[in-house]
Amino acid sequence: MGDIVDAILEGVFCQNCGEYLGEGDGFPVTCPKCLREEREEEEKGMKIYVTFGQTHTHTHRVNGKIFDCDCVAIIKAPTAEEGRAIAMELFAGKFATIYTEETWNSASIQYYPRGYLEANP
List pLDDT tens digits, range 62-109: 989 999 999 999 999 988 999 999 999 999 989 999 999 999 999 999
Whole-number Å distance between alpha carbons of 55 and 95: 11
Residue 62: CA count within 13 A, CB half-sphere: 20
Predicted model pTM: 0.64
Do residues 27 and 21 make contact, with C-beta atoms less than 8 angstroms apart?
Answer: no
Residue 58: CA count within 13 A, CB half-sphere: 12
